[in-house]
């Protein structure tokens, strides 16, 4: 792979020029004011929002209200009189615009892993007869691979690890399900969701997309591109908090036929009837399983207020500008050959992170963190920097690259 840092700053950029330019870019940034919607520690450049988003300002007060009034005073009455029972569908509709989905198709609850299991088994049951293969992103996050293997054993399919670029050629009449990550968690490579979905549909396969590293950082367009099923977490770019509930998207055209492998009482058409036989609820509600985790659920709902009035297209534009500028600063500050970018230079293939390969990456990241620049490390040799446009600015990008340069002398 070519190294974007090798030609990111033609003619070389001087540190004073970069610092001044960062200040000008921040001064004209229409999203800069959104930083006030988050609580961030002073003096820290936080570039790990692709692992855990920052705390939105209103969440603590909302959680205190839920604990002291809705739980502490109203007790069980909050299930029927308050906002608890309807939270999974209501919050699903609230985040739906960020993934390009119309209301009524997204339900919040459980973890990404649990929702992925539901989606994969459900997708296999939606696929036509005689289909025996499940194509799975060969570089997927490990848990996705583990879940895919279990779902395949349950449904009689064979997992075929496939590079996303090779999916069109690998598809055939025997392909039942295609599981892909919209963005690669290690490199930040963005895969072509529209084209790969079209190719899968042309072969008669059902698509399942993992949006964990794209939702909240760039437009997804689930409805526009006729995606079948999708899952994602909410604690990264959506800032829902540690362990925040994930979501399951079931396209409206599949909802009546979607057969969840986890038919819990919360997904029953009449949950309080307590009948021995299961009758699935209408719509995406059938994706519910057990009692919702209300504290984290309502924290997420409050966290999504940070998106009020924000255009996901504007977020994407700033994300690309930030990562371009960071790569330019890295090229200017870091000695040649010390790092190599493994994140694609092309905007169409770049998500909202920059991954740099270097020797002793674990130690380098630890030193960065000790100097107030928080990113993360992925084995064996990758430094990851996530750019969350709602609260990361150009001065942050410049300081992070400058600090990295200081570490390399």
Asked if 384 is an active-site residue, the reply is yes
Separation of first and last alpha carbons in the chain: 26
CA-to-CA distance for 151 and 159, rounded, in angstroms? 9
Q: Among 33, 19, 27, which residue's Cα sits nearest to residue 399?
A: 19
Q: Which of 38, 185, 235, 249 is catalytic?
A: 235
CB 24 within 8 A of CB 358: no
User: Active site includes 236?
Assistant: yes
Catalytic residue selected from 48, 144, 210, 293: 210
Residue pair 200/175 in contact by the 8 Å Cβ criterion: yes
| CA atoms of 50 and 401, how far apart (whole Å) | 18
Sheet of strand 133-137: strand arrangement: 106-108, 247-250, 229-232, 206-210, 175-181, 133-137, 158-162
**Spatial distance between the Cα atoms of 81 and 79, rounded to a whole number of angstroms:** 6
For 66-121, what is the HEC assignment?
Answer: HHHHHHCCCCCHHHHHCCCCCHHHHHHHHHHHHHCCCCCCEEECCCHHHHHHHHHH
C-alpha distance from residue 249 to each of 97, 116, 231, 236, 388 (Å): 12, 10, 6, 18, 23
The secondary structure of residue 199, as a DSSP letter, is: H
CA gap 274, 85 in Å, rounded:
16
C-alpha 258/C-alpha 268 separation (Å) is: 13
Given 133, 288, 384, 402, the catalytic residue:
384
Q: Which of 38, 46, 117, 141 is catalytic?
A: 141
Per DSSP, the three-state class of 372 is: coil
Phi, psi of 208 (to 5 degrees): -130, 120
Q: Catalytic site residue 192?
A: no
Question: Exactly one of 37, 94, 131, 236 is catalytic; which is it?
Answer: 236
Is 235 assigned a catalytic role? yes
Residues labelled as active-site residues:
141, 210, 235-236, 384
């Amino acid at each position: 792979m070519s190294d974007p840092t090798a030609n990111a700053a033609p003619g070389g950029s001087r540190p004073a020029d970069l610092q001044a330019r960062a200040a000008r870019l921040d001064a004209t940034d229409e999203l800069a004011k959104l930083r006030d919607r988050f609580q961030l520690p002073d003096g820290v450049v936080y570039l790990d929002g692709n692992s855990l988003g920052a705390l939105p300002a209103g969440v603590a007060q909302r959680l205190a209200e839920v604990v002291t009034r809705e739980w502490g005073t109203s007790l069980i009455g909050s299930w029927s009189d308050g906002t608890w029972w309807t939270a999974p569908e209501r919050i699903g509709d609230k985040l739906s615009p960020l993934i390009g989905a119309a209301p009524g198709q997204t339900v919040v609850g459980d973890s990404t892993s649990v929702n992925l299991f539901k989606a994969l088994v459900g997708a296999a049951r939606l696929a036509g007869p005689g289909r025996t293969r499940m194509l799975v992103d060969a570089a997927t996050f490990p848990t996705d691979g583990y879940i895919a293997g279990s779902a395949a054993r349950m449904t009689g399919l064979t997992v075929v690890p496939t590079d996303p670029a090779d999916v069109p050629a690998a598809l055939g009449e025997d392909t039942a399900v295609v599981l892909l990550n919209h963005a690669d968690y290690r490199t930040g490579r963005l895969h072509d969701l529209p084209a790969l979905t079209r190719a899968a549909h042309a072969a008669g396969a059902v698509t399942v997309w993992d949006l964990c590293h794209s939702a909240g950082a760039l437009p997804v367009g689930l409805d526009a591109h006729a995606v079948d099923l999708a899952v994602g977490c909410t604690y990264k770019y959506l800032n829902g908090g540690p362990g925040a509930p994930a979501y399951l998207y079931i396209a409206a055209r599949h909802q009546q036929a979607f057969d969840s492998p986890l038919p819990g009482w919360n997904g029953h058409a009449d949950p309080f009837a307590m009948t021995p036989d299961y009758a699935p609820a209408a719509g995406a509600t059938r994706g519910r399983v057990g009692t919702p985790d209300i504290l984290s659920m309502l924290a997420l709902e409050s966290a999504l207020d940070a998106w009020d009035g924000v255009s996901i297209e504007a977020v994407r534009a700033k994300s690309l500008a930030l990562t371009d500028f960071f790569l330019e600063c890295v090229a200017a500050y870091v000695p040649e050959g010390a790092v190599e970018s493994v994140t694609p230079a092309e905007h169409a293939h770049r998500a909202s992170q920059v991954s740099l390969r270097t020797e002793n990456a674990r130690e380098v990241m630890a030193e960065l963190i000790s100097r107030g620049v928080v990113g993360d490390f992925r084995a064996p040799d990758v430094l990851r920097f996530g750019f969350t446009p709602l609260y990361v600015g150009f001065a942050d990008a410049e300081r992070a690259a400058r600090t990295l340069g200081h570490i390399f002398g």
